Amino acid sequence: MNPFNYHKPSTLAEAVALHRDAEDPAYLSGGHTLLPTMTQRLAAPSDLIDLEGLAELTGIAAEDGTLSIGAFTRHAEAAASAEVAGTLPALAELAEGIGDAQVRNRGTIGGSLANSDPAADYPAAVLALNAVIHTDRRQIAADDYFRGLFETALEEGEIITRIDFAIPSRAAYEKFPNPASRYATAGVMVADFNGTVRVGVTGAGPCGCRAHAFEAALSAHLDPAALDAAELPAIDFNSDLHASAEYRAHLVRVLAQRATARLVAAP
Partner 1 sequence: MSAETGIGAAVKRREDLRFITGRGTYTDDLNVPGQTYGVFLRSPYARAKINAIDAADALQVDGALAVFTGQDAAVDGLGDLPCGWLVKSKDGSDMVSAPHPPLAVSQVNYVGEPYGLVVAESLAAAREAAELVAADFEELTPVVAAAEAAKASPIHEGLEANLAYDWELGDEAATDAALAAAAHVTRLDLTNNRLIPNAIEPRAALATFDPTSGEYELRTTSQNPHLERLVLSAFVQIAPEHKLRVVAPDVGGGFGSKIFVYAEETVVTWAAAKVGRPIKWTAERSESFLADAHARDHVTHAELGLDEAGRFTALKVRTTANLGAYLSLFGSSVPTFLYGTLLAGQYKTPNIHVQTHGVYTNTTPVDAYRGAGRPEATFVVERIVEAAARETGRDPAELRRLNMIEPGDFPYETPVALVYDTGNYQASLDRALQLVDYGGFKQRRAASEAEGKRRGIGFSCYIEACGLAPSQLAIQLGAGVGLYESGEIRINPTGSVTVFTGSHSHGQGHETTFAQVVSDKLGVPFDDVEVVHGDTGRVEFGLGTYGSRSLAVGGSALISAADKIIAKGTRIAAHMMQAEPDNVAFEEGAFISGNQRLTLQEVAFASYVPADYPPDLEPGLSEKAFYDPENFTYPAGAHIAEVEVDEATGVVQLVNFVAVDDFGHVINPMIVDGQVHGGLAQGAGQALLEHGIYDADGQLTTGSYMDYCMPRADDVPDFTVDTTVTPCTHNPLGAKGCGEAGAIGSPAAIINAVTDAVGTEDIAMPATPEQVWRKLHGL
Task: Give whichever of 124 and 232 is closer to ligand FAD, judged by the CB atom.
Answer: 124
Where does this chain bind ligand FAD (CB under 6 A)?
26-34, 51, 71, 75, 98-99, 103, 106-108, 110-112, 114-115, 120-122, 159-160, 181-183
Select from partner 1, ligand FAD, none the partner in contact with residue 7, using the beta carbon and a kind-dependent cut-off of 5 to 8 Å: none
> By the 8 A CB rule, do 62 and 83 touch?
yes
**204 lines the binding site for partner 1 (CB under 8 A):** no
Query: Shortest gap between Cβ of 190 and partner 1 (angstroms)?
Result: 16
Tell whether the torsion through CA atoms of 94, 95, 100 and 101 is positive or negative. negative
H/E element holding 217?
helix 212-220
CA distance 169 to 195: 9
Select from ligand FAD, partner 1, none the partner in contact with residue 110, using the beta carbon and a kind-dependent cut-off of 5 to 8 Å: ligand FAD
Select from partner 1, ligand FAD, none the partner in contact with residue 54, using the beta carbon and a kind-dependent cut-off of 5 to 8 Å: none
> By the 8 A CB rule, do 92 and 84 touch?
yes
H/E element holding 36?
helix 34-39
Interface with partner 1 (CB under 8 A), residue total 17
**92 lines the binding site for partner 1 (CB under 8 A):** no
CA distance 193 to 197: 6
CA distance 158 to 137: 7
Binding interface with partner 1 (CB under 8 A): 1, 40-41, 176, 178-181, 241-244, 246-247, 250-251, 254
